[in-house]
Amino acid sequence: MIFYILGILLKIIFFLSCTVLVLLIIEKAKLIFFPHLCTCYVDLSGKAILITGGNTGIGFETAKILAKRGAKLVIASRNVAKSQAAVRAIIDASGNPKVEHKPLNLKSLSSIKQFADDFNRTYGRLDVLINNAGTVEINRTSTNDQIDSTFQINHVGPTYLTQLLMDKIIASKPSRILFVSSNAHFLHNLDSNDIAGKEPMNVWVRYANTKLGNVLVSRGMSKVLPEQVTVNSLHPGTTKTEIWEQGPLFVRKVINFLMDNFMKTKEECAQTIVHLAMARSLANVSGKYFDILRAVKTHRVVTDELAQQYKDTLRLIDDRVKKFEKINTN
C-alpha cells in the first residue's frame, strides 16, 4: 500500500515537473523572439486604478510601474500588514504618495460587497480595474459561499467585484477592465453544469477552469459594454510568486528549481498588464486575449456563444448572495 501511494506521488511530481518545464521553456522562447517590454510612456496623472492582489508578486510590480506614471492607486488585498508594507514600498520606489490599501477578501462575497460599497462612496472615478489576485489551492476547500475556493478567488470574486463597480467604471470612461488569466486555460475541463466547482478534479484542472472563466467573462462582457469601456484578459507569464508556495516540500523544491532557471522575472510578467492598462493603441480594443503585449488566440472552445455562459457565473453569484441575505435577515 505504501509503495502504491509512493508510486502515485512520484507520478504526480513527474507530471507537474514536466508540465512546468514545458511552460517555462515556451515562456523563455517567447522572450527571445518577441518584444516583451512595454514602451508606451503615458502620463497617468488624474487616473484612478484599482488592482487586486497588488501587495505581492506580479501585482506589486505592476503597481510600482503604474505609480511611477502618476496614477492614483488602490491596492485591494486581504493581508493588511503586508499590504501596508507594500504601499510604503511602492511610494518609496515611485515617489508617488497617491497609493493606499483597502481590505478585500475575495473568498467572501459579503466582503466584496462591502469593499465595492465603500469604494463607490469614497472614490469619484475608476479608470482602470485590474483583476490580478489569484491562487492555486493544492488542498481543495470550499468558501462559506459554497463555491470552490480557487474558483471563487480567481474567477467568481473578480467577476462580482467588476459588476459592483461597473457604474463607476462606465461613468469614468474612457475606462478599462483587465482580467488576469493564463495560458493554463488550455488545460481546462470546465463543466457548465458544475459552475461552483463541487465535483472532484485535480488541482491543475481546477486552476485552468478558473482562468478559462476569466477569458470567457472578458469576451462576454465586451459584447454588452458601452463604447469607450474596454475589457480584455491576458497571460502575464510564469514566474516565482507566492501562488506556488503550497503543497509538499519536495514538489515546491522541484517547481522552484525549474522556475529559478527558466522563469520570467515578476517585472517582465507585469509588462502585458501595464501595456493593457495604458497603451493608447488599445483604447478601442476589447474582448481580446493578450500574451507578450500582443492579442493572441485562445483555446478553440472560446467562442462568442460560449462566452455568454459568463452569465452562469452571474447567476451563481446572485444565488449565493440571496442565500447570504436570507440567513442574515432571519
Residues 290-321 pLDDT 10s: 998 999 999 888 888 878 877 888 888 998 88
Q: Is 20 a member of any domain?
A: no
Gap between the Cα atoms of 93 and 278, Å rounded: 20
Query: For the whole model, what pTM was predicted?
Result: 0.83
CATH number at residue 313: 3.40.50.720
Question: Could you give the angle at the alpha carbon of 234 between the alpha carbons of 228 and 237, nearest 5°?
Answer: 150
Tell me how far apart the alpha carbons of residues 234 and 82 are, in angstroms, rounded to a whole number.
26
Query: DSSP secondary-structure letter at 298?
Result: -
**Domain limits for position 165:** 38-254+265-329
6 domain residue, yes or no: no
Angle between helices 310-329 and 203-222 (to 10 degrees): 100
Judge whether 232 and 288 are in contact, CB under 8 Å. yes
Give residue-wise pLDDT tens across range 221-259: 999 999 999 999 999 976 655 555 555 565 566 666 666
pLDDT digits (tens, 9 = 90+) for 30-86: 666 665 677 788 999 999 999 999 999 999 999 999 999 999 999 999 999 999 999
* Residue whose C-alpha cell is 472563466: 213
Q: Phi-psi bin for 116: left (phi > 0), alpha (psi -120 to 50), beta?
A: alpha
Residue 40, C-beta contacts closer than 8 angstroms, at least 6 positions apart? 275, 278, 279, 280, 281
The answer to whether position 141 is within a domain reads yes
Annotated catalytic residues are 207
Task: Please check whether residue 65 lies inside any domain of the structure.
Answer: yes
Total number of domains constituting the chain:
1
